[in-house]
Every structure is written in C-alpha cells, then in structure tokens.
Structure 1
Amino acid sequence: MLRTAASHAARSLLAVALLATAASGVGVAHARGLSWGTSEATVAVTDLPRQGRQTYQLILDGGPFPYGKDGSVFGNRERLLPRERRGYYREYTVETPGARDRGARRIVCGGKRPTTPDACWYTSDHYASFKRIVQ
C-alpha cells in the first residue's frame, strides 16, 4: 500500500511539473527528466571559433565543403540531440588548426532543407556535448 501511495504521489508531482513547464515554455522532455545532454546550452554564431563561423556560413550557402563527409547523415547515436527520424541531421566539419585529420569539432544541423536548417548545434568534443547555435 505504501509503495502504491508513493507511486501515485510521484505521478502527481510529475503531472504538476509537466503543467508548470508547459506554461513556462520549457520542453516536456526536460520536465520528464529526459536529457539531451548539453544540447540545451547555446552559443551565439558570433561566439563560435572563426572556423565555426566559416562552416556555418558554408552550410547556409550550400557549400562547397572542404571535406567529402560534410553534409553526411548524422545518426545521433549518442542521443544528445532531440530524437528525429534518420536523415534529419547532417554533420559538417569545423576545421581545427594543427589537426592532422578532421579534428573533433563539428556542426550538426537538422531539417528538411540543408541551407535552411531548423536548428544547428556545435560540438568541440566530437559529439560528447552540444551547444545549440543561436543568432
């Protein structure tokens, strides 16, 4: 009986939290305790490293991109970005000065049209964390 009462109380608290966050504009997934890692953190376009600003502009311009993998589907296997159908996200390399390969920095954008993405995220640590790019 005690377990049932505790479960009911927990559900009631969740319902109150969902209503409060819906009213405040916070995402339901966040209210449920589901995390998208640091994807809720933001970075202004102007605060991206120079190479990040250049890559972001190339995305909006439709290229040309310096790496063959730029524009390829990003699978979101880490599940740090909002869940979307496969093919929604595309990844682009942000050059890292001194790196012998593509480095760890990327911009990942989601949407139907690559040159007008719904949203883009920057990662400096090869998908371990993300910051949503804002104007």
Structure 2
Amino acid sequence: MGFVTQAKDSAPRAVVSLSSLPVEAQTAQRLIHAGGPFPYSKDGIVFGNRERLLPRHPRGYYREYTVQTPGSRDRGARRIVCGGQQATAPEACYYTDDHYASFRLIAQ
C-alpha cells in the first residue's frame, strides 16, 4: 500500500504508487496528463473538498476524474482528484476507491 507521510495542514496520508493502482486508474491518470478525452462528462469538474480530507486550497484548485469500474452501470466509487493550477500538470493527485471517504496520495 505504501508509507505514510504528513501533509502540511492535514492528518497523515497514505502514499500509493501509480503502478500498484488498478489499470483503470493508470489509464485515467494518463488521460489527465494528456487533457482527455474523458469518458464521463463530469470528469474535470471542480472537487469541493467538503470532506476536508485533502490539504486546504482555494475553491477550484482540485478537479475530479472517474476511474472506470468494470461491470459498473454508473461511475462507481473510484476517483482520482488532482490539484494544481494546470489540469494537465497537477501538483498532486489522490486516489479514492470509496467515494471520497479516504484518499491516498499517488506517488509521482
């Protein structure tokens, strides 16, 4: 799973390597860096961080992307949330497989 690191203004956070994530997450991460095309119309929308599990930043800093779930009839629970000024060059990306209940920092 990875080791734990301390974020500047939040609780300890697990770190995960991209290669250890499901292949669908790896594909989504490649699409993020390429600027799309994304399979879902909601991909790239602003993520509000209402759960306050990610480091605090101004609204609009985070964007969310769907990680496809094989066999799911909807978007499922898996997402990548990236933060930064440039969508194709995020400063940090986080993976959640439980619809925002927890996040793991994706090691770059």
Q: Write the mapping of 1:47-58 to structure 2, written as runs, cut at 5 A.
A: 47-58=20-31
Structure that is richer in strand per residue? 2
Structure 2: runs of 5 or more not aligned: none
After superposing on structure 2, the runs of 4+ consecutive aligned residues of structure 1 that deviate more than 3 Å are 25-29
For the pair 1:108 / 2:77, whether they are aligned, the reply is no
Residue pair 2:62, 2:81 contacting (<8 A) in 1 also = yes
Cα RMSD after superposing both structures: 1.6
Residue pair 2:67, 2:78 contacting (<8 A) in 1 also = yes
Instruction: Tell me: CA distance 1:103–1:42, structure 2 relative to 1, closer, same or farther (3 Å).
Output: same
Partner of residue 66, structure 1: 39
Q: Which has the larger radius of gyration?
A: 1
Deviations 1:36-60 (A, max 9, x none): xx6x101101011000000000000
- In the superposition, the TM-score normalised over structure 1's length comes to 0.73
The 3-state SS of whatever aligns with 1:41 is strand
Identity of aligned residues (%): 62
- In the superposition, the TM-score normalised over structure 2's length comes to 0.91
Partner of residue 12, structure 1: none
Q: Write the mapping of 1:4-43 to structure 2, written as runs, cut at 5 A.
A: 26-29=6-9, 34-35=10-11, 40-43=13-16
